[in-house]
Structure 1
Amino acid sequence: MNHCVLEVEVVEAPTLRYTQDNQTPIAEMTVRFDGLRAEDPPGELKVVGWGNLAQDLQNRVQVGQRLVVEGRLRMNTVPRQDGMKEKRAEFTLSRLHPVGAAASPSAPAAQPPAGKTTAAKPAAPVKAEPEPASWNSAPLVPDTDEIPF
Structure 2
Amino acid sequence: MNLCTLMAEIISAPQLRYTQDNQTAITEMTIAFPGQRAEDPPQKLKVIGWGNLAQEVQEKYKTGDRVLIEGRLTINTVDRPEGFKEKQAELTAQRIHLLSDLGTVNIPQPAASPEPSTPVVAAAAAPSYPAAQSAPPPSPEAEVDYDDIPF
- TM-score (ref. length: structure 1): 0.66
Judged with a 3 Å threshold, the aligned counterparts in structure 2 of structure 1 residues 49 and 128 are, in CA distance, closer, same or farther, namely closer
Larger radius of gyration between Structure 1 and Structure 2:
2
One-letter amino acid of the counterpart of residue 31, structure 2: V
C-alpha separation in 2, matches of 1:2 and 1:14: 24
Judged with a 3 Å threshold, the aligned counterparts in structure 2 of structure 1 residues 41 and 129 are, in CA distance, closer, same or farther, namely farther
| Secondary structure of residue in 1 paired with 2:54 | helix
Q: Are 1:85 and 2:85 matched, yes or no? A: yes
Q: Deviations over 1:11-36 (max 9, x none)?
A: 00000111113520000000001112
**Long gaps (5+) in structure 1:** 105-126, 132-149
Judged with a 3 Å threshold, the aligned counterparts in structure 2 of structure 1 residues 128 and 31 are, in CA distance, closer, same or farther, namely closer
**Long gaps (5+) in structure 2:** 109-151
Sequence identity of aligned pairs in percent? 54
Q: State the Cα distance separating 1:130 from its structure 2 match.
A: 4.4
2:6 alignment partner in structure 1: 6
2:135 alignment partner in structure 1: none
List structure 1 runs of 4+ shifted beyond 6 angstroms: none
Matches within 5 A, 1:44-123: 44-100=44-100, 103=101
One-letter amino acid of the counterpart of residue 90, structure 2: E
Q: Deviations over 1:41-79 (max 9, x none)?
A: 210000000000000110001100000000000000112
The number of equivalent residue pairs is: 107
One-letter amino acid of the counterpart of residue 52, structure 2: N
Normalized per residue, the structure richer in helix is: 2
C-alpha separation in 2, matches of 1:28 and 1:55: 11
Judged with a 3 Å threshold, the aligned counterparts in structure 2 of structure 1 residues 77 and 48 are, in CA distance, closer, same or farther, namely same
C-alpha separation in 1, matches of 2:89 and 2:58: 21
2:28 alignment partner in structure 1: 28
- TM-score (ref. length: structure 2): 0.65
